[in-house]
Structure 1
Amino acid sequence: MVTISVIIPVYNADKFLERCIKSLLSQTLASCEFIFVNDGSTDSSQSILEQFQQKDVRIKLIHQENKGVSEARNTGLKIAQGTYIGFVDADDYVEYNFFDTLYQTAEKHHLDITVCNYFSSQDGTAFTSKAPFKEHAVYESNTIKKDILPYFISHETINSIWNKLYRTSLIKDNAIIFPKGVPLGEDGWFNSLCFAKADKVYFLSYAGYHYIDVSGSATRNIVGKNYFQRIEQEYENDYSHLQNAYLDASNISVLKAHKYITKVVSLLHEYYNPVNAIEIETRKLLVKELLTSKTTIKIFKDYYKTVFLQKSKYERVVLFAIKHKLSVLISLVIAYSNLRNKR
């Protein structure tokens, strides 16, 4: 009997793959299957996977043409045999008791989704990421709809799938899959569907997943991936399926605007982040695109006051500068913020 099916999409991850595989094979919960979906890798990922597959029968290996991470995960979902499903990214790794801890918690409280904290590393800085919800408490259906679903629309800090354990029947009985062709936020979309159908969710204080934010990855390639256009496209997502007694169309519109504004402010910080090494002229064009976007102008016109009042003094200055297209003020405020954070 397979207790947990762990799905790992792989695309050109040979630099990190061996560490990931070894962390999975050393799990204290032995009754796992590890479904590696090689999504058209052109490096040595395939040979590494085949070598480990010969050593451990728990490794299931699927090769497919490059279709993207969402379709790779959907491929894994089709053959998953476990009572629960977990996800791991090929450049990350987990503690030896990671899946055992989540499984024991899920069984104890009869959970549909178990959530834990995780270790994160970015630009040489390590920290522990936590969800903004009470730990060691069972959230049932009404509370999930009232408190957690709105958070998926307005924020992205709990979007990750790899720090969660899902009951397989929750996913398969509701025919939940990862969206195809979504440019950004596919994990959040998948989670919103799962949480909308879940009866019991639990947040653990335990952290056992190591997320490595790799420079040049899809999430960090600000210029090459046309990140701002992806934010605009994500804003067009239709969340009407999440409407419930606590969440109507008007609420959803405000929450979407809140996320958009938060993300464009964050993106501006990335534009001026020295680590990203964006050329001055390129940065000017990127900032101009953001400030003159029809989506930005409309959202700031309709929701500026609503969002503005919820922000700190620093954030209000940035929002004011965006609203009035003051690119010089934006650069000065962000530079001041970066200087303070270095002290």
Structure 2
Amino acid sequence: MNNMEVLPLISIIIPVYNVNGYLEKCLHSVCEQTYKNLEIIVVDDGSTDGSGEICDLFAETDSRIKVIHQVNGGQSSARNKGLAIARGEYIGFVDSDDWIDSDMYEFLYRLLTTNNADVAACAHYIETETETEVRYSSGTFTSFSSDEAIRALIIDRRMRNYIWDKLFRRQAFSGIQFPENQIFEDMAVCYRVFHKVRRIVMQDCPKYHYLQREGSTTLDKQYDPQKEYLWFLRIYEQVKFIQDNGIWYKAPCYVHKYGMHAINKIIMLPSSPLLDSIIKDIIGKMQEFTNVRWPQVSILFLLKRCLVYRHLGVYRLVKTFLKSGRKMPQT
């Protein structure tokens, strides 16, 4: 960027917890941004593997870094601490096991200011230990109103419920905090932020590298029905908000779609009081939205839903036989 240009301060909040094998790459990528006027707030959330010491070493070499050490309270607690002390006109987030392209914040700042927007979003790479995947890299530009962006979050394709691939005007977080001691906290925040602003812009240029690693809070190879249930509850919360604010009449169908998706997976596990109560609650929340009919969902979907509502045991039996590849007994 033009060094003579007076640029506003961007505060980047990085929660850190036991990521000593990834942290240096993350911090280097942030410190080497082409956008230089940064406040880099690194919140060490009670790390026990030396990550806190790595943060301090980086702070000694770059005066833009502020390190906060706190007792472990979770990622939301660390992000909230960063928000509380951030001085920037703009706010960004980076997770400490990820990394970003050197021009990410220059790109997002230009995207936001050129289009007089309040939030700017880019695409991202999905990184594993062996490969890199990118889904949206066409360069397509889209400008959303607040309501349009919230609808896009529910659809969950291009505009995703992630906090880290975006740049926000500081005012967008006024009165908003991340829910603590919960997972899928980004899903609880994005739509509320979008509701407070006027314009959100997005361009499909990947700039953020999201690492899927074993041991992360979002990647677990072993299926967890309670995590599935919490994901569904986040969708339910979003749809209730959308309905209460008159944003999109089609949103309730996503409670039904995600609800059936969760039931289809949970029902294949051995029955237990906990799982039965989860399925019962999902069905109850689906039944709160009575106007989800064809053509919003398919006829086959409606038949499956009817069976779940009225004959859950029969539905479980059918799913079990279909999965096992066995034929249903002749009557």
TM over 0.5: yes
- Match of 1:115, SS state, is strand
Contact 1:152 1:158 in 2 (8 A): yes
1:24 to 30, 33, 41: 30
2:165 to 160, 163, 185: 163
Task: Kindly provide the amino acid, as one letter, of the partner of residue 160 in structure 1.
Answer: Y
Between the aligned partners of 2:307 and 2:136, the Cα distance in structure 1 is: 31
1:139 to 128, 139, 144: 144
Between the aligned partners of 1:117 and 1:316, the Cα distance in structure 2 is: 35
Between the aligned partners of 2:42 and 2:64, the Cα distance in structure 1 is: 11
1:12-64 CA-to-partner distances (Å, cap 9, x unmatched) read 11111011011111111111111111111111101111111111111110011
Between the aligned partners of 1:37 and 1:225, the Cα distance in structure 2 is: 31
Per the TM alignment, residue 262 of structure 1 is displaced from its structure 2 partner at its CA by 3.9
1:98-125 CA-to-partner distances (Å, cap 9, x unmatched) read 1111111111112100011100135855
Change beyond 3 A, Cα 1:171–1:232? closer
Task: Kindly provide the amino acid, as one letter, of the partner of residue 220 in structure 1.
Answer: L
Aligned to 2:230: 230
Change beyond 3 A, Cα 1:9–1:303? same
Between the aligned partners of 1:306 and 1:116, the Cα distance in structure 2 is: 33
Task: Kindly provide the amino acid, as one letter, of the partner of residue 325 in structure 1.
Answer: R
Change beyond 3 A, Cα 1:307–1:206? farther
Between the aligned partners of 2:290 and 2:241, the Cα distance in structure 1 is: 26
Whether 1:331 aligns to 2:331 is no
1:159-216 CA-to-partner distances (Å, cap 9, x unmatched) read 00111110112223xx1221234x3332122111111011111111211100011123
TM-score by length of 2: 0.78
Aligned to 2:275: 289
Whether 1:149 aligns to 2:135 is no
Pairing of 1:263-282 with structure 2 (within 5 A): 263=262
Between the aligned partners of 1:295 and 1:330, the Cα distance in structure 2 is: 25
Between the aligned partners of 1:291 and 1:319, the Cα distance in structure 2 is: 18
TM-score by length of 1: 0.76
Paired residues, number? 309
- Match of 1:118, SS state, is strand
Pairing of 1:230-249 with structure 2 (within 5 A): 230-231=230-231, 233-234=233-234, 237=237, 241-242=241-242, 243-247=244-248
Task: Kindly provide the amino acid, as one letter, of the partner of residue 158 in structure 1.
Answer: R
Change beyond 3 A, Cα 1:123–1:57? closer
Per the TM alignment, residue 332 of structure 1 is displaced from its structure 2 partner at its CA by 4.8
Per the TM alignment, residue 298 of structure 1 is displaced from its structure 2 partner at its CA by 3.6
1:284-313 CA-to-partner distances (Å, cap 9, x unmatched) read 458x93697212444566779947865689
Calculate the aligned-residue CA RMSD, in Å.
3.7
Aligned to 2:258: 259
Aligned to 2:186: 187
Task: Kindly provide the amino acid, as one letter, of the partner of residue 123 in structure 2.
Answer: N
- Match of 2:123, SS state, is strand
- Match of 1:6, SS state, is strand
Greater shift in the superposed pair: 217-226 or 302-311: 302-311
Between the aligned partners of 2:41 and 2:11, the Cα distance in structure 1 is: 7
Whether 1:13 aligns to 2:4 is no
Change beyond 3 A, Cα 1:247–1:306? closer
Change beyond 3 A, Cα 1:232–1:171? closer
- Match of 2:108, SS state, is helix
Per the TM alignment, residue 126 of structure 1 is displaced from its structure 2 partner at its CA by 3.0
Aligned-pair identity (%): 26
Between the aligned partners of 1:7 and 1:302, the Cα distance in structure 2 is: 38
Aligned to 1:45: 51
Task: Kindly provide the amino acid, as one letter, of the partner of residue 85 in structure 1.
Answer: I
Between the aligned partners of 1:79 and 1:299, the Cα distance in structure 2 is: 38
Change beyond 3 A, Cα 1:98–1:191? same
Between the aligned partners of 1:123 and 1:313, the Cα distance in structure 2 is: 42
- Match of 2:126, SS state, is strand
Contact 1:53 1:60 in 2 (8 A): yes
